[in-house]
Amino acid sequence: MPSWDGSAYAANTAHHRAFDDAFLTATPIEPGDRVLDLGCGSGDFTATLAELVGDEGHAVGVDAQPSMLDEAHRRARPNQSFVLAPVQRLDEVLGAEHDASFDVALSRAVLHWVPEADQAGVYRSAARLVRPGGWVRVECGGAGNIPAALALLDDVSAGFGGPSCPWTFATPSAALDWVEQAGLDPVSDPRCFVRGVAQRRAFDETSLLGWLRSQTMHAYEASLPPAVHADFRAAVEARLPELRRHDGTYDQTWVRLDLLARRPA
């Protein structure tokens, strides 16, 4: 699993936070709810969730990286708590005593970091943890995500004998299978959906470098020998001008897997 630097990540979340409102518009969270945030990272969005559910509610953040949770603790409100674990181990760290104990389990920009073979299990755990009638809401990298950056990174990585696309950028149809296998209902309630969404995300040269350095290149480095990490980074950064858009900006195209499903009542 790639390791993350929590403070470097925390300084480079603006491109996610710009889409918080759009995500929340399609997320049925109520005051007083208990919300589970899978892969809470540095916790800025988790704190927003905690504010939304208010003092009668609670937000639990799960993340596999201690430095992320250090950051998240710093931003936390009193109605928050955290669990240090990979989401593949939810059944161990939030066992049977937590069955059906959340109104909403959600995840932002995380599940593409989970290997394909583990995806169905994560959805099953989320389904177990929400109450009957509760919600599972996911947004993460999907098929077609970051096409320009992916082509550049894959090409540089190949030069070092490294991997191509170290993420699970799944199609909506693959995700529909995982959701259904988990016993979730993505259809009956008209609010539910399983879809891919293209987004233009705003970057300039500095913020694009920040994104590459804080949350992108390490995905490749996890499979490259440490001795070549600096050269890998330098080779990617030397080609940054290739990431200019047709209009001359450094804005990038994101394609998100975006879904809302419900545990049958």
Ligand X SMILES: C[S@@+](CC[C@H](N)C(=O)[O-])C[C@H]1O[C@@H](n2cnc3c(N)ncnc32)[C@H](O)[C@@H]1O
Q: Which residues bind ligand X (CB under 6 A)?
A: 4, 13, 16, 39-41, 45, 63-65, 68, 86-88, 108-110, 113-114, 215
Report the residue number, 41 or 57, with the smaller CB distance to ligand X.
Answer: 41
User: Cα dist. 149→88, 112, 163, 174 in Å?
Assistant: 28, 16, 14, 23
Report the residue number, 222 or 234, with the smaller CB distance to ligand X.
Answer: 222
CB of 37 to ligand X, least distance (A): 7
User: What are 62's strand-pairing partners?
Assistant: 38, 83
* DSSP H stretches of helix in 59-160: 66-75, 90-93, 116-129, 147-159
CB of 251 to ligand X, least distance (A): 18
CB of 75 to ligand X, least distance (A): 11
Point out the residue whose Cβ comes nearest to ligand X. 41
Three-state SS for 126?
Answer: helix
CB of 86 to ligand X, least distance (A): 4
Report the residue number, 53 or 109, with the smaller CB distance to ligand X.
Answer: 109
Give the up-direction half-sphere exposure of residue 129: CA atoms within 13 A in the CB hemisphere.
28
| 262's tokens | 């419900």
Report the residue number, 15 or 241, with the smaller CB distance to ligand X.
Answer: 15
Which DSSP state fits 170? B
Report the residue number, 72 or 152, with the smaller CB distance to ligand X.
Answer: 72
CB of 47 to ligand X, least distance (A): 11
Select from 140, 131, 178 the least CA-distant residue to 35: 131
